[in-house]
């Protein structure tokens, strides 16, 4: 479908959002619609001939998320090329009940590549909101352009999701969510600014630990109108970071998990994964069928233009190093990916697709943090991950990201360099700030030596960044910190420690460009958004450069 016709579909598809779909119904039907499908609809993981469709039904007033109450029921689903569902491309019935928290997830197959579809669910004679989704191009196709939203770190207690609302105004093929889709904290534990005030309060009113807790928290986020409208408009491609379970998680525990008071870690992690599997439009273990939620890393192809490898950097990693010295971060026996996932990633880079995009939950470019005043240093550490920052001789290292697992990073970058792999771009979230980086083979001699890849880091949707924690206006106190950090890390070409928002990734055969957009006050539901910066990497260059602002049509 051409860009023009896609935009025409967007301009006429007013009922793709939850609110518009509700307003199109007569009053009695609208009430039932809100009652039975109060958590909206979503789609995800688009392939050329299939896409995951998701919703949750509330068959009785007692069937609330996490309650374990309610009957087993059948829910019908339909997918069509028109929003009146006259040209059906697929239909079926899904069985759900309290065992899967009344969520419905199906893999709609037999679809045409590179095609816009509309979908809905039906229960007890009432329809869900209407969703819009799109399949990927055929494997051998050569798309002229792809556009992805890129987001991470959306803490509901820290503000409203205006970034999601503004992102929905762009013409996108999919949204890449790089983790921290939900947060585990209870009210007052992590919120808005340096005092951790709550713009909105989490449900349940405590840190989520049990299966019921995780289900209730996912349900709360799904009822956010801005997130719901974005889900209804475009498919999501997601991975988790730590806060979907617990802060600074690793395979055997987490920084804020206390096994004496918060249950066995394996059980807690299994419950968090199960709730994620139930509530997200994602294929886990290669299937949309509810499973044990073990394997999340996967690969999606968008013709010969791009292939996207989504990583899981929490499930297989060793515990973060207690110190950057004494060989801790460079120990070859320690891993962030796990041996199997790293092998899978390296083999996947041999694709015939031009751009190798890597959905990377934590930063891979090496970063050293210069000595700073005590208050600024503490704010930087909280921005980057609080307990994960270790200090040696005045220079801090974030051992929660790839800097804490340098042997894995060396193996990966050496493989890229030795095999002449070009056009590799890491797309990263996690650290509540915006970055554009070259990834040199040896950062110590940059800009001399080889640059083997690039990294583009999106800002947080709401989670605190440096100016929030310092309690100063944006683009004031952070400027000196950014300048000092870039002086010490010359491969960091762009850095913004202050602004919240979202990014749009524009992919063509000539270049990959990320456009950052910033919002105003997170506490203002109606805050506006504006363009912040644009950086691009040209085909074959392996280096980022400033780019012109996009012209939105």
Give the pLDDT of residue 27. Answer: 40
Instruction: Give the number of residues written for the chain.
Output: 553
Give the pLDDT of residue 292. Answer: 59
Domain ranges of the chain: 1-98+106-135, 137-546
Per the CB < 8 A criterion, the answer to whether 58 and 288 are in contact is no
Query: Which residue is it, tokens 């801090």?
Result: 396
For residue 306, what are the contacts with CB-CB under 8 A and spacing of at least 6? 146, 353, 354, 355, 356, 357, 507
Both tokens assigned to 457 = 């880091």
Cα 501 from Cα 469, distance rounded (Å): 17
Cα 102 from Cα 98, distance rounded (Å): 5
Give the pLDDT of residue 385. Answer: 62
Q: How far apart are the first and last CA of the chain?
A: 16
Per the CB < 8 A criterion, the answer to whether 177 and 238 are in contact is yes
Query: What 8-state DSSP symbol labels residue 513?
Result: E
E runs forming strands in 124-270: 126-127, 131-134, 146-151, 174-177, 236-238
Overall pTM surpassing 0.85 (yes/no): yes
Question: H or E segment at 93?
Answer: strand 88-96
Per the CB < 8 A criterion, the answer to whether 419 and 461 are in contact is no
Give the pLDDT of residue 287. Answer: 81
Per the CB < 8 A criterion, the answer to whether 42 and 254 are in contact is no
Give the pLDDT of residue 45. Answer: 98
Give the pLDDT of residue 285. Answer: 86
Cα–Cα distances in angstroms (integers) from residue 276 to residues 4, 75, 108, in the given order: 36, 20, 20
Cα 420 from Cα 441, distance rounded (Å): 13
Cα 315 from Cα 306, distance rounded (Å): 26
3-class DSSP state of 356: strand
Give the pLDDT of residue 69. Answer: 97
Both tokens assigned to 292 = 């044990």
Question: H or E segment at 344?
Answer: helix 339-348
Q: Which CATH number among 1.10.490.10, 3.60.9.10, 3.40.190.10, 3.60.21.70 corresponds to the domain 137-546?
A: 3.60.21.70
Question: Which segments of the chain have a pLDDT < 50?
Answer: 1-30, 392-394, 553
Q: Which residues pair with 440 in a beta bridge?
A: 451
Per the CB < 8 A criterion, the answer to whether 224 and 159 are in contact is no
Give the pLDDT of residue 195. Answer: 85
Strands 174-177 and 236-238: parallel
1 alpha carbon, distance to own chain's centre: 26
Strands 298-302 and 395-398: unpaired
CA nearest neighbour of 364 among 449, 293, 435: 435
Query: What 8-state DSSP symbol labels residue 454?
Result: E
E runs forming strands in 400-450: 424-428, 434-440
Cα 368 from Cα 393, distance rounded (Å): 12
Strands 236-238 and 298-302: unpaired
The per-residue pLDDT for range 208-262, each reduced to its tens digit, is 999 999 999 999 999 999 999 999 999 999 999 999 999 999 999 999 999 999 9
Cα 306 from Cα 309, distance rounded (Å): 10
Cα 114 from Cα 316, distance rounded (Å): 34
Give the pLDDT of residue 328. Answer: 83
Per the CB < 8 A criterion, the answer to whether 407 and 367 are in contact is no
Per the CB < 8 A criterion, the answer to whether 21 and 129 are in contact is yes
Q: Is the peptide bond before 490 cis (omega within 30 degrees of 0)?
A: no
CATH number attached to the domain at 1-98+106-135:
2.60.40.380
């Amino acid at each position: 479908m051409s860009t023009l016709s896609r935009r025409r579909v967007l301009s006429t598809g007013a009922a793709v959002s939850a609110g518009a779909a509700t307003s199109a119904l007569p009053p009695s039907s609208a009430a039932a619609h809100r009652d039975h499908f109060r958590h909206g609809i979503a789609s995800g993981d688009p392939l050329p001939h299939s896409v995951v469709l998701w919703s949750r039904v509330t068959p009785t007033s007692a069937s609330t998320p996490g309650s374990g109450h309610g009957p087993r029921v059948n829910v019908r689903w339909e997918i069509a090329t028109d929003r009146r569902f006259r040209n059906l491309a697929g239909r079926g019935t899904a069985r759900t009940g309290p065992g899967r928290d009344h969520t419905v997830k199906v893999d709609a197959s037999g679809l045409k590549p590179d095609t816009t579809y509309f979908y809905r669910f039906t229960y007890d004679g009432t329809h869900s909101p209407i969703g819009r989704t799109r399949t990927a191009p055929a494997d051998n196709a050569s798309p002229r352009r792809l556009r992805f939203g890129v987001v991470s770190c959306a803490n509901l207690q820290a503000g409203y999701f205006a970034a999601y609302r503004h992102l929905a105004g762009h013409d996108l093929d999919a949204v890449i969510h790089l983790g921290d889709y939900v947060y585990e904290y209870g009210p007052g534990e992590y919120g808005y600014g340096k005092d951790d005030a709550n713009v909105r309060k989490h449900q349940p009113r405590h840190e989520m630990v049990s299966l019921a807790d995780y289900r209730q928290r996912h349900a709360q986020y799904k009822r956010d109108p801005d997130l719901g409208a974005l889900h209804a408009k475009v498919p999501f491609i997601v991975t988790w970071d730590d806060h979907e379970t617990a802060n600074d998680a690793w395979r055997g525990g987490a920084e804020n998990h206390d096994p004496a008071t918060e249950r066995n870690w394996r059980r807690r992690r299994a419950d968090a994964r199960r709730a994620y599997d139930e509530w997200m439009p994602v294929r886990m273990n290669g299937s949309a069928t509810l499973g044990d939620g073990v394997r999340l890393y996967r690969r999606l192809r968008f013709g010969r233009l791009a292939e996207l490898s989504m990583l899981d950097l929490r499930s297989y990693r060793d515990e973060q190093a207690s110190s950057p010295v004494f060989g801790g971060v460079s120990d070859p026996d320690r891993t962030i990916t796990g041996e199997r996932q790293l092998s899978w990633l390296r083999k996947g880079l041999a694709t015939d697709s031009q751009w190798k995009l890597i959905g990377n939950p934590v930063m891979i470019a090496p970063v050293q943090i210069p000595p700073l005043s005590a208050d600024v240093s503490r704010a930087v550490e909280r921005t980057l991950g609080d307990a994960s920052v270790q200090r040696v001789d005045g220079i801090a290292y974030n051992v929660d990201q790839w800097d804490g697992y340098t042997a894995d990073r060396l193996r990966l970058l050496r493989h890229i360099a030795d095999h002449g792999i070009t056009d590799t771009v890491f797309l990263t979230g996690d650290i509540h700030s915006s970055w554009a980086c070259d990834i040199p083979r040896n950062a110590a001699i940059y800009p001399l030596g080889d640059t083997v890849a690039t990294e583009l880091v999106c800002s947080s949707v709401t989670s605190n960044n440096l100016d929030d924690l310092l309690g100063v206006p944006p683009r004031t106190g952070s400027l000196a910190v950014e300048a000092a950090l870039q002086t010490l890390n010359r491969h960091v070409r762009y850095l913004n420690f202050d602004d919240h928002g979202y990014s749009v990734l524009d992919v063509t055969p000539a270049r990959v460009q990320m456009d950052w957009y910033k919002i105003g006050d997170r506490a203002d539901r109606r805050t506006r958004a504006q363009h912040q910066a644009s950086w691009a990497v040209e085909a074959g260059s392996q280096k980022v450069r400033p780019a012109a602002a996009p012209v939105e049509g």
